[in-house]
Structure 1
Amino acid sequence: MRIFTAVFLLTIGGLAHAAPTAQDILAASDAVRNPDYSFGLTTTLIEYKSGKQNDTSTLAVYSKADKSSGQFRSLIRFIAPARDANKLMLKSGNDLWFYDPSNKASIRISPQQRLLGQAANGDIVTANLAKDYQAELAAEEDTQDGDRKTRHCYKLALAATAPDVTYHRIEMWIDTSNNRPVKARYYTESGRLLKSAYFRRYQTQLGAERPTETVIIDGLDPNWVTVMRFSDYAKRDVPEAWLQRDYLPRFKPE
């Protein structure tokens, strides 16, 4: 009886300390990138070619988690350059809409379409990857982060679960010690590398250490780099009306 009890307790103890699943790891990395409540921030995009700044854009992002799906809905307002000021982008579910106040028309757009440099429309909106991708643990290995420091990481292979997400397949490295995303590679359906990204400059924002910069490198030309910087994080109410396509012509920034 004592032997049986000891084996039983060892089994229970092993279950209690079972390794996290790949999907759990991905969800934990989502929580590092995004809070679980409505928030706003400013995203600045800077495009470089061969080390020289080529273009830039500034956006205000308002995001709110959908209670039923857990995925974020987002409204993006273009701030700069002046030619784009007050244009809007709306993500609701996997639908993405663009609104131009000059012609008062809203059109559906693709999340894969480039916005600036290597940053696609789908890179700008807030997203929980665990809701759109099935993760598998491909390896546990050392890799270099964006500052060329070695990190011990889970390497996850992510496969899209819906046809209208931004990327068909992603490889992502997540630090085993704190679930921080370190880097990612994004692929087309045919398997071609589109780009690589490094998640950098972790700072305390909205109660947690979050990456405040993403460096994106073109899959063919490593001299074509786009930097996404995130600032002005704030917990805020995002009115439900802001997340409706019909409301876009009436939206007024606060």
Structure 2
Amino acid sequence: MIRLLALALILVALPGRAAPSPQEILVASDAVRNPDFPFGLTNTLVEYRQGRQTESSTLAIYSKADPAGGQFRSLVRYTAPARDANKLILFNGKDMWFYDPSSKASIRLSPQQRLLGQASNGDVVTVNFARDYQAVAAVEEDTQDGDRQTRRCHRLSLSAANPDATYHRIEMWVDVANARPLKARFYSESGKLLKTAYYRRYQPIFGVQRPTEMVIIDGLESDWVTVMRYSDWTRREVPEAWLQRDYLPRFKPE
């Protein structure tokens, strides 16, 4: 993974090389966010309204890339609150299913549906943006990151490349120096700003500095904020059976 990331960064930053294409910048930012091997982590979501915590959820996430298309497939298990424990969400790169062990029923979900606060179902699963979006423009400019520090960035304009993409259009700011994604704005098909996200708290994960927090702000109500924190990263096998809808009733957490 480190060698792949190094290659991506060379493509973006090599002196004397022609300016990287928008898609190359997007690929490099994906390599910063995501390992290229199967892994697990804990995602803790906390919703705030007017500065006060209103709700929270904790999810165990198991992800691996599809060898055919490269997009991640994920199994998400609720661990908290207690009322939701062991409910499952399966995302196989194309379809998304919700399974409730109490009813033993699985229902199809949309990645655009909200899971908690401003976090949609599509936000909590691992995603390679370069697989679902085409970067059609890149402009260098200064912007403030999630800590209000000014950074020189590539501002990418991303258009959905297939109907399964969670958002119609995304603007993303990627640090010129190291390809780290810093900020993104997500838009509906009508052009409405749905939310703004900041990628923060970079820490060494599997030998690479990766964001361990995502702060999501509603497009209309700026005091409606959802924070996603990633922890307990581990390299692990994700059995193919876990990523099949028919297996959901038999899944047992380790």
**TM (normalized to structure 1)?**
0.93
Aligned to 2:192: 192
Aligned to 1:84: 84
Measure the CA separation in 1 of the matches of 2:69 and 2:99: 25
Q: What do you get for the CA RMSD once the two structures are aligned?
A: 1.2
Shift of 1:189: 0.1
Aligned to 1:208: 208
Indicate conservation of the 8 Å contact 1:142/1:150, yes or no.
yes
Give the match's secondary structure for 1:62.
strand
Measure the CA separation in 1 of the matches of 2:165 and 2:245: 19
Aligned to 2:240: 240
Measure the CA separation in 1 of the matches of 2:134 and 2:249: 37
Shift of 1:16: 7.1
Aligned to 1:49: 49
Unaligned runs of 5+ in 1: 1-13
Shift of 1:67: 0.7
Measure the CA separation in 2 of the matches of 1:93 and 1:227: 24
Aligned to 2:7: none
Measure the CA separation in 1 of the matches of 2:24 and 2:39: 23
Q: C-alpha deviations, 1:186-218, integer Å up to 9, x for none?
A: 000000000000000000011210000000000
Name the aligned partner's letter for residue 35 of structure 2: P
Name the aligned partner's letter for residue 110 of structure 2: S
Aligned to 2:146: 146
Aligned to 1:24: 24
**TM (normalized to structure 2)?**
0.93
Shift of 1:225: 0.3
Give the match's secondary structure for 2:86.
coil
Indicate conservation of the 8 Å contact 1:39/1:236, yes or no.
yes
Aligned to 1:124: 124
Aligned: 1:106 with 2:106: yes
User: Quick one: structure 1 residues 213 and 15, their matched pair in 2 at CA, closer, same or farther if it must change by over 3 Å?
Assistant: closer
Aligned to 1:93: 93
Measure the CA separation in 2 of the matches of 1:165 and 1:91: 12
Give the match's secondary structure for 1:31.
helix
Indicate conservation of the 8 Å contact 1:143/1:150, yes or no.
yes
Shift of 1:137: 2.4
The share of aligned pairs that are identical, in percent, is: 70
Name the aligned partner's letter for residue 135 of structure 2: A
Aligned to 1:226: 226
Unaligned runs of 5+ in 2: 1-13
Name the aligned partner's letter for residue 124 of structure 2: I
Aligned to 2:160: 160
Say which one has the larger Rg. Answer: 1
Shift of 1:64: 0.6
Indicate conservation of the 8 Å contact 1:137/1:154, yes or no.
no
Shift of 1:18: 1.7
Measure the CA separation in 2 of the matches of 1:96 and 1:239: 18
Alignment of 1:37-76 (within 5 A): 37-76=37-76
Q: C-alpha deviations, 1:92-124, integer Å up to 9, x for none?
A: 122100000001011110000000000000000
Indicate conservation of the 8 Å contact 1:41/1:62, yes or no.
yes
Aligned: 1:179 with 2:146: no
Give the match's secondary structure for 2:247.
helix
Indicate conservation of the 8 Å contact 1:94/1:165, yes or no.
no
Measure the CA separation in 1 of the matches of 2:70 and 2:169: 21
Moved over 3 A (4+): none
Shift of 1:15: 11
Aligned to 1:10: none
